Amino acid sequence: MELDELWSFVGSKQNSVWIWLALERQTRRIVGIAFGDRSAATCRELWQSLPGDYRKRALCYTDFWDAYGRVLPPSRHRTVGKDSGQTALVERVNNTLRQRCANLVRKTLSFSKDPKLHQVRIRLFVDHRNQELSVKHSALISQD
């Protein structure tokens, strides 16, 4: 898996909300998500949002943000630099999120005004994206 966080805001730029994502490499589905600040507490929420199998077996590749090291079990955690390419997929998802969700664009009139609606918009995008990936994966399997 690849884990990363991206910055957003609700109401004003002074009210930061970080979106933490966990991406499963093989299927490219987002399997965990958390909203909050950039602390270990929010990282812990991300870890808890993962299905149990992932917490037991998956290797998690992250950047060097210290919250990951404080929350993820050392046996499951690998810190890597951006130049390694080990977090390239989740970084690409972050870019896609910014492009497709108007409320995440940094200079916009479409910013979120309500924290709950902000989360709903992001979760809807994630659910839609995961469903599209499942359909594509099923189509590929049925062709074999």
% of the chain surpassing 90 pLDDT:
71
**pLDDT tens digits for 41-95?**
999 999 999 999 999 999 999 999 999 999 999 999 999 998 999 999 999 999 9
Where residue 144 falls among pLDDT bands split at 50, 70, 90? low
% of the chain surpassing 70 pLDDT:
90
Q: What's the mean per-residue pLDDT of the chain?
A: 90
Please identify which residue in the block is written with the tokens 């074999």: 144
Task: Report which of residues 96 and 144 the model is more confident about.
Answer: 96
Token pair in block for residue 19: 């979106």
Question: Around 12, how many Cα atoms within 13 Å sit in the side-chain half-sphere?
Answer: 1
Q: Under a CB-based contact definition with an 8 Å cutoff, are residues 32 and 22 in contact? A: yes
Where residue 100 falls among pLDDT bands split at 50, 70, 90? confident
140 pLDDT more than 90:
no
Task: Report which of residues 9 and 5 the model is more confident about.
Answer: 5
Which segments of the chain are extended strands (E)? 2-10, 12-23, 30-36, 60-62, 77-79
Single pTM value for the model: 0.89
